[in-house]
Amino acid sequence: MGFRRDALSSPWHGVSLGGWLLLEPGPSYPLFAHHPAQDGEEARCEWDLMKQLRQKLGKKRSVEVLKVHRDTHITKADFERIRACGLNAVRLPFGYWVVTEPRANEPYIGSALEYVDRAVDWAEECGLQIVLDLHGCPGSESSEAPCGRRQRPASRWNWRHWDMARTLQILDMLAKRYSSRRCVTGIAVCNEPSGSVPCASLLRYYSQAVDRIRKAGMPASRVAVVLPVFQRPEGEVAFMKKWWSMTRGRHRNVCFDAHCYHCFENEFNGKSLAQQLRAVEENAKFLREYPVVVGEWSLALGVATWCTAGEMGEDEIISIFGAQQLGALQEASHGSFFWTWKECPENKEWNFQQAFSTGLLSRLPRQLPDWDGKGEDPLEEELHPSPSEPRVFYGDTVYLRVFHGRYVDVEGAKVCARWADKAKFQSLTFCPSDSASASPFVRREVRHRDIVRLRAHNGRYISVEGTSVTASRSCRSTAGEFQVCLEGEQTLVHRGIAYLRSRSTSMSLDADEDQEGVYARFKDLGLWQAFSVEKDVEGSRVLHHSGAVVLCGIPDLASNDALEQFEQAMCLFLFSLLFVTDALFAVALGTMPFLGTSHYRVRGFLQLRPEHKPTPSLSRTRLIEIAIVLFQLRISKAMVIEVQLCTSVASI
């Protein structure tokens, strides 16, 4: 007997009324901002906000403040606007204390069933369906803010604190009260229960809840019962199959509530825009197969998305993502609800009204190219074009993106992975470990099993000390050498995945999202150790159009005194250019100075090339321009600029 997929004749295409009858920062804007704690910080949940209000204003005034919010945050005019947007349903989240009085010693204010009555009346008058969503249960179904109380550490809450028996009584009260209302076409038995709730206990509670709702007068022919399947440790599909195995199809018109967010946890923070769209494609396959409502979705994206979308602007990225989601959501048997109707104005990805009015939800879905999962997804190139030369060469400026979407950055001697943008302090350069053996005029690709050094923007080299990773001034020992390990490729390319194994400890570099650091703790080549290597696309365009760049190995200068002497010689040489009339020369540089910074190192050598024929004389003005170009080029230790005054420099 197969899995039954009941579906609504008119699936919900609606929006959640978050922040009205269960308070949350953002959706309840501006209530939280207007009533901060004594230290100026906003509360994180309704429990904390109500405690702060009582301490600051007293119980009577707190009740008045909350009443004003409940009277004004959502009105009939909102229901009329929702209908005018072409939506056919609303999802109404509320805490159990809205249905009945809160338990002893809880700061919630209730009951307030008259507001649920109003919502049902307005839905009926405006031709909307309504789903009653018991968003916060007695004792809480998790330790997180959406259930009303955020508890930290999370271990303060135990799944046994959730009073399931009392929750069933409240569901019974709701079902009896609204059983005759035709606009009520769904009821959710809880919201986002913790994954620590044992599977068998949650399944048993769900089955009992369906029975209570049906017996209270809400038939399967008219009302769907919504069962959350949120972050289950066994997986959504496995949980649903266990439900089917336990109930054997006894319950009809039940649907599982999946929340399709693409901005939380490391998985989605680490996805490129192309990977985000493929995830939406996978969602569509899931929705086609199982009885599901997407109870919450938004336009918010993980941090890696914004640097992996080529030249596209923010609104274009959001609208492309929104269009793909809307297309996928059409597959849901019971429809979907955007989170949320009202939100802080700065958060347009969560604010349906703003997204709708600015056209972020008006684009048609994109036809994604076929891909069998092997090699690089062609969608990556489509959305984030590679530089004209996708291969990574020694001397190229690159950025290393870690699994949680941030890029490796270097600040002094500190090596971290803190931000998801590509700034100068996040730029790195691959340098050959044995620079003396490299041919001075042959560009070398970075290849699988190469031994490399990584030079940061400040001239320091990534080094390993025990399990710590730092940026060192010296790179002469194996502490600063790494073996490059590539996934299924021999040559490193733009967006290629590389692993970097320390030669001194045999440990692979890894990222830690909690500490925002980079370490060398394990020999594994897994998710934590993977680096997406991205070339500096803008810099690559300049250099490859110059026709004057070749790679070479430059021996290190052994001491600070030698470096200072070389800097002086370099400056004298550039000065001397002002008086040269006939010359053809090559300049092999290590680190060109960064204009506007207080510290830099110049490493390398200069070499005149007298064997070439003399070139026509150049004006002093042109030579000054050449000197400026040389200083402005940000070239790494392993790069050579071969400059032919009459031709090459003119094209840089």
Number of other CB atoms surrounding residue 428 within 10 Å: 24
d(CA 316, CA 299): 12
| Rounded CA Rg of the chain | 31
Which residues in 189-268 belong to E strands, given as ranges?
224-228, 254-262
* Dist. CA 355–CA 362, nearest whole Å: 9
Element (H, E) at 296: strand 292-301
Q: Tell me the Ramachandran region of residue 255: left when phi exceeds 0, alpha when psi lies from -120 to 50, beta otherwise.
A: beta
Q: Which amino acid is at 336?
A: S
Of the candidates 192, 349, 380, 642, the residue annotated as catalytic is 192
C-alpha distances in angstroms, 147 versus 138, 144, 257, 299?
9, 6, 15, 22
Concatenated DSSP letters for 576-636?
A: HGGG-SS--EEEEES----TT-S-----EEEEE-TTSPP-----HHHHHHHHHHHHH----
Q: What are phi and psi of 270, to 5 degrees?
A: -90, -5
Exposure on the CB side of residue 248, measured as CA atoms within 13 A:
0
DSSP 109: -
Residue type, 183: C
- Other Cβ atoms closer than 10 A to 77: 9
d(CA 360, CA 356): 6
Active site residue 192: yes
- Single out the catalytic residue among 144, 296, 343, 534: 296
What length is written for the chain? 652
Known catalytic membership, residue 296: yes
Three-state SS string over 365-406 comes to: CCCCCCCCCCCCCHHHHHHCCCCCCCECECCCEEEEECCCCC
Q: How far is CA 591 from CA 148, 395, 463, 539, in A?
A: 56, 10, 18, 15
- Report the alpha-carbon distance of residue 554 to residue 500 in Å, rounded: 22
HSE-CB of 260 using CA atoms within 13 angstroms: 30
CB 383 within 8 A of CB 308: yes
> What is the per-residue DSSP string for 35-95?
S--TTSPPPSSHHHHHHHHHHHH-HHHHHHHHHHHHHHSS-HHHHHHHHHTT--EEEEEEE
Count helices and strands in the chain by DSSP H and E runs: 18, 24
Residues annotated as part of the active site? 192, 296
